[in-house]
Amino acid sequence: MHTLYIHVHFDCNTFFAFNFQSDTCTEEENIDPPNTKGTQTEWTSLIDENLHSEHNYSFSVEDRFLDKDSVAFLQSFKSQIEHLNLKLNVASQNIAALQEQLEYFEGKKFSLDKIKDDNDAMSFYTGFQNYGTFISVFEYLESKASRLQYWRGQTDSNSDPKQYQTQGGRPGPKRKLSLKEEFFMVLIRLKVGLFVRDLSERFEISQSQVSKTFTTWINFLNAELPLLFPFPSQQKIFDIMPKSFSMYPTTRIIIDCTEVFVEIPSSMLAQSQTWSNYKHHNTYKVLVGVSPTGSVTFVSDLWGGRVSDKEITKQSGLLELLESGDNVMADRGFEIFDILPEDVTLNIPPFKGSDSQLSSQAVEDTVNIASVRIHVERAIGRIKNFHILDGVLPLSLSHVANQIFKTIAYLTCFLPPLVPPNDGTSDDDDDSSSEKFE
């Protein structure tokens, strides 16, 4: 065994000897440094050199301290470290490259954050004018949406929309999308009309989860949005009456029916009930009412296309909302004089009757009525601008067709009025070119 002595000289001529074999420190008085001769300065220099060598842990191993096997082992260990360092450098470079790719694809990924600063994109994908409107509506709904009981299929017994709300936290398994992302996805489905598979790939969830989320939210929105836009009182309508209605100051509501194409049902009875002689197709028919400013104030349930305008008006529940002194404005086809409540009047364009042509006064009346009645058609145009209603509505959505149309109708109420309150003019009535249909 080797014993290495390092002698440190102090003024008292005391040296310390460190024994590497016994790991002990012994103090020896007046011991001359072994095998050394010369001055104290030379001893100090030699000691400093030895101390520097002994405390430099990266120094090369000397044969005098280790046997050949130990030296070989340490050299092998050093080679392994160098090899691992090389692999670490390569891995670091790969991680950096992958991080760069991830940032690139994250930038390309479709998301709300990507479009929220683009008002045109927000309008195109959600129907809201801007992100501020979107987030305001979401925050209003968020507290109830956090307790949604998610739809489990058409056999689900929870047919009442209010039963989708529970007392506890968000039930069911943890979901990949946040509530805001779910709301965003539902709006895209309504506004752009994207298919379930498309949304599944965009939001990276299963197609079944897209369907369940959409059905849950559409029932929820159908229950909540009408609470924001209750049927306005007679006084409120009169207070905001646009100037363009100066000839018809008692107008409470303007009504019209519209139809949505539906896939041909397999049942012969359902085929008969949904067949529309007007559209020559199977359709759903719905009654829409708007205020004089053009905002939607009433939406009936969907009916088969076979039903008449008079019957749908009678069964819709609208008549129960009217009050004495109200005036209802409608198209020529609404012959509902005999079903209106007492002291409620109807304003429709005049008929030609047995005459060969309309009188000059009748023509003037027709033009005047048409100039303001057109706002209900413009409001319906806003509804039809939600492209889920384009083409033919599939039967797979028949269980939520009512909810879809009503939700869309009330979503249009977040848009500016078609006619500014108390400031409507004939020029305002002709500004349909300013409407953006995408």
Average pLDDT, the chain: 82
pLDDT above 70 as % of the chain: 75
Token representation of residue 28: 């020896």
Query: Tell me, what's the pLDDT at 432?
Result: 43
pLDDT of residue 358: 77
| Secondary structure E strands in 280-396 | 281-290, 296-299, 303-304, 327-329, 345-347
Residue 247 has pLDDT above 50, yes or no: yes
Residues 18-38 have pLDDT tens digits of 444 444 444 444 445 445 455
Give the separation between CA 82 and CA 277, rounded to whole angstroms.
85
Least confident of 66-75, 92-101, 287-296, 408-417: 66-75
pLDDT score of 165 more than 80:
no
pLDDT digit string, tens, across residues 253-280: 999 999 999 999 999 999 999 999 999 9
Q: CA–CA separation, 82 vs 76, rounded Å? A: 10
Please state the rounded mean pLDDT for residues 368-387.
94
C-alpha R_g of the chain: 41
350 close to 369: Cβ distance less than 8 angstroms: no
Q: Is 249 left (phi over 0), alpha (psi -120 to 50) or beta?
A: alpha
Q: Would the pTM of this model clear 0.85, i.e. be above it?
A: no
What tens digit of pLDDT does each residue of 110-134 get?
889 999 999 999 999 999 999 999 9
Give start and end residues of each alpha helix (H) in 284-330: 309-316
The residue behind tokens 């390569």 is 90
Torsion sign across C-alpha atoms 33, 37, 39, 45: negative
**H-helix or E-strand containing 16?**
strand 14-19
> Do strands 281-290 and 296-299 pair parallel, antiparallel, or not at all (unpaired)?
antiparallel
The tens digit of pLDDT for each residue in 79-122 reads: 899 899 999 999 999 999 998 888 877 777 888 999 999 999 99
User: Where are the chain's structural domains?
Assistant: 1-59, 113-228, 234-434
Q: Is the predicted pLDDT of residue 426 greater than 60, yes or no?
A: no
Tens-digit pLDDT profile for residues 275-285? 999 999 999 99
Tokens 């009678």 map to which residue? 314
pLDDT at 180 over 70: yes
Task: With CA atoms as reference, report the closest residue to 299 among 234, 415, 236, 383.
Answer: 383
pLDDT band at 220 (very low <50, low <70, confident <90, very high): very high
Q: How many CB atoms lie within 10 A of CB 405?
A: 25
3-state secondary structure of 328: strand
Count Cα atoms within 13 angstroms, Cβ side, for 403.
19
Q: Where are the alpha helices (DSSP H) in 195-298?
A: 196-203, 207-228, 234-239, 268-274
Q: What is the pLDDT of residue 412?
A: 97
Beta carbons of 261 and 391 less than 8 angstroms apart:
yes
Write out the DSSP string of 249-262: TTEEEEEEEEEEEB
CA neighbor of 274 nearest in space, from 288, 287, 260: 260
